[in-house]
Amino acid sequence: MSQYYIWTIGCQMNKAESERLGSYLEQLGYQATDTAEAADIVVLNSCVVRQSAENRIINKINSLKSLRRAHPGTTLAVTGCLVNSEVDQLKKSFPYVDYFFKPGDYPPWLETPEAALVLPRQPSPGTFVPIIQGCNNFCTYCIVPYRRGRERSRPVSEIVCEVRELVRRGVKEVTLLGQNVDSYGRDLADKPDLADLLSELNAIDGLARIRFLTNHPKDMSAKLIEAIANLDKACKQISLPVQSGSDDILKAMRRGYTVAQYRRLVNTIRDKIPGVALSTDVIVGFPSENEQQFQQTVDLLSELRFDTVHVAAYSPRPGTIAARKFEDNIPLAEKRRRLNIIEQLQEGIAAEINARLLGKTVEILVEGKVKDKWQGRTRSGKLVFCNNSADCLGQLLNIKIERTSPWSLQGYSIK
d(CA 118, CA 322): 39
How far is Cα 243 from Cα 314, in angstroms, rounded to an integer? 11
Residue 85 CB, nearest approach to ligand SF4 (Å): 17
Size of the site for ligand SF4 (CB under 6 A): 10
How far is it, in rounded angstroms, from Cα 40 to Cα 45? 16
Residue 376 CB, nearest approach to ligand SF4 (Å): 28
Specify the residue, 30 or 262, whose C-beta has the smaller distance to ligand SF4: 262
Q: Which lies closer to ligand SF4 via its Cβ, residue 137 or residue 346? A: 137
DSSP string, 134-172: --S---TT--HHHHH-S-EEPPHHHHHHHHHHHHHTT--
Between the alpha carbon of residue 132 and those of residues 41, 85, 181, the distances in Å are 27, 19, 7
Q: Lay out the sheet containing 75-80: strands in order across.
A: 31-32, 3-8, 41-46, 75-80, 99-100
Is the torsion defined by CA of 361, 364, 370, 374 positive or negative?
positive
Which 8-state DSSP code applies to residue 301? H
Nearest one of 74, 79, 75, 76 to 101, comparing CA atoms: 79
Residue 216 binds to ligand SF4 (criterion: CB under 6 A): yes
**Cβ nearer to ligand SF4, comparing 254 with 369:** 254
Binding mask 171-190 for ligand SF4 (x = CB under 6 A): --------xx----------
The contact mask relative to ligand SF4 for 37-76 (x = CB under 6 A, - = no) is ----------------------------------------
Which H/E stretch holds residue 278?
Answer: strand 277-284
Between 200 and 281, name the residue whose CB sits nearer to ligand SF4. Answer: 281
Q: How far is the CB of 180 from ligand SF4 (least distance, A)?
A: 5
Q: Least distance (Å) from ligand SF4 to the CB of residue 148?
A: 8
Q: How far is the CB of 183 from ligand SF4 (least distance, A)?
A: 9
Compute how many other C-beta atoms are within 10 angstroms of the C-beta atom of residue 155.
15
Toward ligand SF4, which CB reaches closer, 60 or 310? Answer: 310
Would you give the binding string for ligand SF4 spanning residues 118-147, x where CB under 6 A is met? -----------------x-xxx--x-xx--
Check residue 109 for interaction with ligand SF4 (CB under 6 A). Answer: no
Rounded to whole angstroms, the Cα distance separating 8 from 47 reads 8
Q: Identify which of residues 172 and 317 has a Cβ nearer to ligand SF4 in the complex.
A: 317
Min CB(135)–ligand SF4 separation in Å: 3
Nearest distance from C-beta of residue 133 to ligand SF4, angstroms: 11
Nearer to ligand SF4, 132 or 349 (CB): 132
Contacts by 372-376, CB closer than 8 A, 24 or more apart: 373/410
> Considering the complex, what minimum distance in angstroms separates the CB of residue 52 from ligand SF4?
17
Alpha carbon distance 227, 268 (integer Å): 13
Residue 154 vs 172, nearer CB to ligand SF4 = 154
For ligand SF4, the binding residues (CB under 6 A) are 135, 137-139, 142, 144-145, 179-180, 216
